[in-house]
């Protein structure tokens, strides 16, 4: 069974803030132990759960880091039952304006690092383990000026289905969440400064509030739970209806 520690162990990337931080807190509340991975320090852990958190500060775009993170999870907690690939960057441009450096940076962080971490996790995971990829609603619907980002998240969706098909027979589930506009410090600044971004995302979402990190964390926690035990290869959209269509006039 997974794993041998008192609490099942999960890896959550991008855990210092936003969706990753909310996911870490949700999993801790559900009894998981968490390897919290981020390029920034993961600080401010609640004293009641700090014995179940192993903070790892690293750059997952470094090819050596995914295997090292998995080894730390197994060494510290005795096994690995859940991987949440949440770390990512944006900053994409139109296709014609995207140079090789921009393309490589976004793909390395958003897709290649997640692929490597998924690969390393699968080498140690036992039946009953779960992988959740954090994609984007842009993996199913595009907008102008997000070419490399959209491609990277579509690749994550493809990886989700591939892992589900290959490892489902071994008892390992793989699903993804596809967030829409989620309110964070970074998105708040973009909404204030960019009227076009505000029109497409905020005005285009048929729901009376913006998404919150906890909305996505709740979806991830559901996919990691026994309640989702027959869900495999699914992309769960968390976007307030943005992908469903335009708002009423």
pLDDT value of residue 150: 94
Per-residue pLDDT tens over the stretch 89-124: 987 689 999 999 999 999 999 999 999 999 999 999
Residue 244 lies in a domain: no
Q: Which one, of 81, 78, 58, lies nearest residue 69 by Cα?
A: 58
Domain extent for 161: 9-183+212-237
pTM (whole model) above 0.85:
yes
222: CATH: 3.40.50.720
Residue 103 lies in a domain: yes
Task: Tell me which residues are annotated as active site.
Answer: 149
Per-residue pLDDT tens over the stretch 52-88: 999 999 999 999 999 999 999 999 999 999 999 999 9
Residue 145 lies in a domain: yes
Residue 175 lies in a domain: yes
Residue 243 lies in a domain: no
Residue 32 lies in a domain: yes
Q: Count the domains in the chain.
A: 1
Residue 80 lies in a domain: yes
Residue 4 lies in a domain: no
């Amino acid at each position: 069974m997974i794993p041998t520690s008192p609490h099942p162990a999960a890896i959550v990337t991008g855990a210092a803030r936003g969706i990753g931080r909310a996911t870490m807190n949700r999993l801790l509340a559900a009894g998981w132990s968490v390897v919290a991975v981020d390029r920034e320090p993961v600080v401010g852990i609640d004293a009641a759960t700090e014995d179940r958190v192993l903070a790892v500060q690293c750059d997952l775009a470094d090819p050596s880091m995914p295997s090292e993170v998995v080894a730390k999870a197994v060494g510290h907690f005795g096994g690995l039952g859940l991987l949440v690939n949440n770390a990512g960057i944006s900053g994409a441009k139109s296709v014609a304006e995207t140079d090789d450096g921009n393309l490589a940076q976004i793909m390395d962080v958003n897709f290649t690092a997640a692929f490597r971490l998924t690969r390393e996790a699968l080498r140690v995971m036992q039946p009953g383990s779960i992988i959740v990829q954090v994609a984007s609603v842009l993996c199913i619907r595009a907008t102008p000026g997000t070419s490399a980002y959209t491609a990277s998240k579509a690749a994550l969706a493809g990886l989700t289905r591939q892992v589900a098909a290959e490892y489902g027979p071994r008892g390992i589930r793989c699903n993804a969440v596809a967030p829409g506009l989620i309110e964070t410090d970074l998105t708040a600044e973009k909404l204030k400064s960019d009227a076009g971004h505000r029109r497409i995302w905020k005005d285009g979402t048929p729901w009376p509030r913006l998404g919150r990190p906890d909305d996505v964390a709740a979806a991830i926690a559901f996919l990691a739970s026994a309640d989702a035990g027959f869900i495999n290869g699914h992309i769960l959209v968390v976007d307030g209806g943005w992908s469903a269509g335009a708002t009423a006039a």
